[in-house]
Amino acid sequence: MEIRDTAAIVTGAASGLGAATAARLARAGARVFGLDLPSALKDAPEVDGVTYAPADVTDADQVGAAVAAASESGPLRAVVNCAGIAPSARILGRGGTHDLGLFSTVVKVNLIGTFTVMSLAAERIARTEPDEQGQRGVVVNTASVAAYEGQIGQAAYASSKGGVVSLTLPAARDLAQYGIRVNTIAPGIVETPMLATISEEYRARLAEGVPFPQRLCRPEEYARLVEMIISHDYLNGETIRMDGALRMAPR
Active site residues: 157
C-alpha to C-alpha distance for 69 and 139, rounded to whole angstroms: 18
